[in-house]
Every structure is written in C-alpha cells, then in structure tokens.
Amino acid sequence: MSTATYTVNGMTCGHCVSSVKEEVGEVPGVAGVEVDLATGLLTVTSDEPVGRDLIASAVKDAGYELVDRS
C-alpha cells in the first residue's frame, strides 16, 4: 500500500472537500482519499504509487490547486 500527502489550495467548505474527494477518487489506482479542510491536506492511498500529475489534474478538475510543499 502506498500513501502520499499533498496540500490543496482554495478549499473553504465541506462542498470543496467533497469535490476534491470525488475527483481524486476517480483516478485509476486510487484506493482511498482523505481531505482535511482545516489544513488543506490531501492524503491518497493506493496499491501502487500514483503520479503526482494525475492527482494534480484531478484536483484542478475539482476547481482547486495542488501546491508544492517546501
């Protein structure tokens, strides 16, 4: 099992969280998605690592931005 954590910019409400979870959950290979509204953290679990570009694209489709962590 692989777990990756990202930061999502622009979420302000529960609907935002639902949109991100739905879009990221549709990425092939993703087994689970957790989103923390307060911190903006997105945690993705999968059997094999899923490319960051695929996750970023799904977050963008939901209307938000995946930001790089420093």
Q: What is the pLDDT along the chain (70 residues), one digit of tens a residue?
A: 999 999 999 999 999 999 999 999 999 999 999 999 999 999 999 999 999 999 999 999 999 999 976 4
Assigned CATH for 2-67: 3.30.70.100
pTM for this structure? 0.93
The encoded tokens of residue 57 equal: 């694209």
**How far is residue 45's CA from residue 20's CA, in Å, rounded to a whole number?**
14
CB 1 within 8 A of CB 46: yes
Dihedral, 63, 67, 33, 26 alpha carbons, nearest 10: 50
Model pLDDT for residues 8-21, shown as the tens digit of each residue: 999 999 999 999 99
Q: What percent of the chain has pLDDT over 70?
A: 97
Domain spans in the chain, listed from the N-terminal domain onward: 2-67
How far is Cα 65 from Cα 70, in angstroms, rounded to an integer?
Answer: 15
